[in-house]
């Protein structure tokens, strides 16, 4: 029979004192971390409304001063990271998450110490005491400064108080009557301390990155709001130089009922494999319906395909079927005239995902065009020359991305909203 294993040979992690207290304190710290996460989500408005958050945080304007979101939105609810008003700030709830993560990790790996190693317990005791003093101060702020109460915050502070009581109980007040293995080792305490600091820092880093992303989104939204403002679009449009865009007598107008005598001319450089180009043409079709006597729209080819566009931006790739699709449009124009060209244009945009399948002759037949004449036009030098002329003009004008729209010779950067066009056309009639 084997002799019992000496107690000193048992790894320290399997002989920690007061295991029941250790796991209870881990559970409390995890609960505090989870409650802090809920407060962080409520403070950032990331979380959708839910019964749980409404219970923890209360609804805005609720009677009795129970309004968690007002507390979290106050200047005590976050730590500013810059002196500028509205600058980036770190929510206090994120600090709570980092704090509880550190405490949970400490009790998970170290736990209550033995009497001879009680000095190590001072580390977690000091951290928890600082956390409780912070909780007391926040309760004072809610009571005497904000006059508002947050049930979720009080739950966090109560959990913190329970952690302090457990930490005091975990202190080895009496020296054991019999010798016991020392716990923790210095190496374990140092490793846990380092890991806890790193995990706490990781929490703050993640929240900081998320906050920076949110700040960037808000700035982007503010920029887009200004950039899409019709007054700004009109101002920016009017300061653009007037480009010389030569017109051909046989150029088709985009979509009836655009009037040949309409005073405003839109020239659009496009690519049949470009999703934004499809949106631009759908918008222009709507504008021709709503402003039939004010707009003429002319389509120009600018495939983002090195097969027919020498622009250096597309030398490494681009839209590999765009040049062939442009040939299909020009071949339809050559065989069937304006009506056939506009019909082929609609088909090419609707079936842009199938442009690499060489079905252009079949589509031409669907539109009632002579298949043999279409195939012949598809490979004709005249079609290639029309595309090359459009591409050369686009490169001369500095077109680097499509769709590129010119209204009466001026480049139009923001074009996607109908209200913008109402303002532009009204401005074109004003002195």
Alpha carbon 98 to its chain centroid, in Å, reads: 25
Q: Give whole-number Cα distances, 86 to 80, 146, 224, 287, in Å.
A: 9, 20, 18, 40
d(C-alpha 430, C-alpha 418), whole Å = 19
* Complete DSSP assignment for 357-418: G--HHHHHHHTT--HHHHHHHHT-HHHHHHHHHHHHHHHHHT--SS-EEEETTEEES----H
Strand residue runs (E) in 9-104: 78-80, 89-91
The mean pLDDT value for 180-184 works out to 86
- In the chain, what are the helix, strand and coil shares in percent, each to the nearest 5? 65, 5, 30
Residue 255 DSSP symbol: S
How large a percentage of the chain has pLDDT more than 70? 85
| Alpha helix (H) residue ranges in 91-185 | 92-109, 121-140, 151-170
Please name each of the domains of the chain with its CATH number.
9-173+182-227 (1.20.1440.130), 243-429 (3.40.30.10)
Say if residue 290's pLDDT is above 50: yes
Q: What is the pLDDT of residues 210-239, one digit of tens each?
A: 777 666 776 677 777 887 888 888 899 899
Answer yes or no: are the C-beta atoms of 249 and 298 closer than 8 Å: no
pLDDT, mean of residues 177-206: 90
Chain-centroid distance, C-alpha 400: 26
pLDDT surpasses 90 at 42: no
- Cβ density class 16-29: b for 16+ within 10 Å, e for less: bbbeebbebbbebb
Assess whether pLDDT exceeds 60 at residue 41: yes
DSSP-based three-state secondary structure for 41: helix
What count of other Cβ atoms lies within 10 Å of the Cβ of residue 414?
Answer: 18
- pLDDT score for 207: 86
Distance CA 283, CA 417 (A): 8
Query: What is the distance between the alpha carbons of residues 29 and 62, in angstroms, rounded to a whole number?
Result: 30
Helix count (H) and strand count (E) of the chain? 14, 6
102-114 pLDDT, tens digit per residue, is 999 999 999 999 9
Question: What does the alpha-carbon distance between residue 412 and residue 120 come to, in Å, rounded to a whole number?
Answer: 69
The answer to whether 110 touches 120, Cβ cutoff 8 Å, is yes
CA atoms within 13 A on the CB side of 206: 13
Instruction: Give residue 2's pLDDT.
Output: 44
Q: Which of 13, 142, 128, 136 is nearest to 68 (CA)?
A: 142
Q: In what order do the strands lie in the sheet with 264-270?
A: 295-301, 264-270, 404-407, 410-412
pTM of the model: 0.58
In whole numbers, what is the pLDDT of the chain averaged over residues? 85
Q: What's the N-to-C CA distance of the chain in angstroms?
A: 108
């Amino acid at each position: 029979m084997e002799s019992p294993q000496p107690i000193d040979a048992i790894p320290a992690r399997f002989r920690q004192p007061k295991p029941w207290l250790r796991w209870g304190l881990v559970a409390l710290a995890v609960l505090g971390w989870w409650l802090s996460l809920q407060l962080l989500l409520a403070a950032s408005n990331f979380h959708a409304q839910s019964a749980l958050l409404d219970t923890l945080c209360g609804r805005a304007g609720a009677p009795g001063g129970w309004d968690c979101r007002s507390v979290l939105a106050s200047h005590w609810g976050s730590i500013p990271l810059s002196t500028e008003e509205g600058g980036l700030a770190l929510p206090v709830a994120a600090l709570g998450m980092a704090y509880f993560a550190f405490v949970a990790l400490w009790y998970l790996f170290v736990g209550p110490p033995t009497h001879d190693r009680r000095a190590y317990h001072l580390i977690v005791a000091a951290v928890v005491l600082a956390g409780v003093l912070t909780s007391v101060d926040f309760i004072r702020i809610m009571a005497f400064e904000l006059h508002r109460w947050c049930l979720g915050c009080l739950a966090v502070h109560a959990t913190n108080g329970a952690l302090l009581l457990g930490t005091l109980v975990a202190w080895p007040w009496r020296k054991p009557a019999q010798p016991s293995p020392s716990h923790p080792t210095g190496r374990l305490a140092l490793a846990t301390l380092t890991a806890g600091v790193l995990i706490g820092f990781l929490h703050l880093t993640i929240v900081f990155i998320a906050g920076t992303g949110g700040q960037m989104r808000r700035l982007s939204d503010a920029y887009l709001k200004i950039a899409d403002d019709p007054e700004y679009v009109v101002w920016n449009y009017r300061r653009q130089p007037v480009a010389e865009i030569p017109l051909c007598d046989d150029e088709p107008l985009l979509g009836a009922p655009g009037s040949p005598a309409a005073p405003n001319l839109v020239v659009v450089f496009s690519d049949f494999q470009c999703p934004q180009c499809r949106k631009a043409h759908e918008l222009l079709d709507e504008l021709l319906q709503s402003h039939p006597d004010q707009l003429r729209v002319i389509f120009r080819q600018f495939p983002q395909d090195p097969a027919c566009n020498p622009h250096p931006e597309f030398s490494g790739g681009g839209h590999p079927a765009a040049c062939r699709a442009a040939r299909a449009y020009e071949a339809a124009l050559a065989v069937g005239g304006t009506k056939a060209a506009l019909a082929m244009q609609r088909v090419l945009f609707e079936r842009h995902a199938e442009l690499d399948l060489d079905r252009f002759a079949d589509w031409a037949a669907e539109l009632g065009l002579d298949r043999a004449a279409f195939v012949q036009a598809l490979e004709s030098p005249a079609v290639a020359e029309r595309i090359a002329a459009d591409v050369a003009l686009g490169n001369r004008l500095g077109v680097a991305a499509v769709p590129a729209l010119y209204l009466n010779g001026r480049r139009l950067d923001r074009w996607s909203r109908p209200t913008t066009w109402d303002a532009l056309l009204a401005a074109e009639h004003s002195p």
